[in-house]
Amino acid sequence: MNTTENITIVLNNPKYPGNIGSAARCAKNMGIESLFVVVHEYPDMEEMKKRATHVASDIVENMRYFYRLDEALSGFNYIVGTTSRLGSARGPVIQPREMAKQIADISQNNRVAILFGPEDAGLNNDELKYCHLLVTIPTSDELKSINLSHAVMILCYEIFTARTPSPNRFTPKLATSFELEGMYDHLKEMLVKINYINPENPDYWMTNIRRFLSRTKLFSKEAQIIRGICRKVERSIENKKA
């Protein structure tokens, strides 16, 4: 199977229709034909198709629209977020070539999303929480910003060149984003009940927990196990109160 068949480019609130069209062409140049766009208003179709040219107009015509990012990502097993801003608050970040090597194996049996933020601000911390892996594109100190379609091309190129997976490696199907978000919500509720995290800002305290668990590449069964543990703890608390 072509490893790019399970890979989707997800553009979160892009500002310019032309950039969507250019991103579609870049993706298709590298064998990726699935494009999701998170927008509040439908972008101009003619402008997108103009920039995509006839080569990738089919991708623009068939791309899926979403109003919310969590809905767009819900069916994916593995999500790669892109960022140019680094720091401890964002966790460890790798470069495109290293990312592509991992994706070559994971995408054999899992749906993978490559997530890009808006041109002017990129992805914020709340949006990056959905990501299993963060990638940054190295640039010169003089000019750090990269056009959205250029960023798409760089990552798609690296994925394309790394598309032959290791013959001795097999990555089983991972939990979907929908399953993981349900698990994280349940885990957060339980940790608040046992006073492990601050109930006034639980999402802030969940950041490190998310980062830790995302490195383990949880399977669906494992997410269910964690939720089962949460239920057991909650019942134990209720029994003690009775």
Residue range 1-25, pLDDT digits in tens? 456 889 999 999 999 999 999 999 9
CA atoms of 75 and 118, how far apart (whole Å): 22
pLDDT at 86 over 70: yes
pLDDT at 239 over 70: yes
CA atoms of 118 and 46, how far apart (whole Å): 20
Distances in Å between the Cα of 22 and the Cα atoms of 29, 87, 115, 170 are 11, 30, 16, 34
* Rounded CA Rg of the chain: 19
Class of domain 177-241 as given by CATH: mainly alpha
- All CATH 1.10.8.590 domain ranges in the chain, comma separated: 177-241
The domain made up of 3-161 is a member of CATH 3.40.1280.10? yes
pTM over 0.85: no
- All CATH 3.40.1280.10 domain ranges in the chain, comma separated: 3-161
| Percent of the chain residues past pLDDT 70, beyond the cut | 92
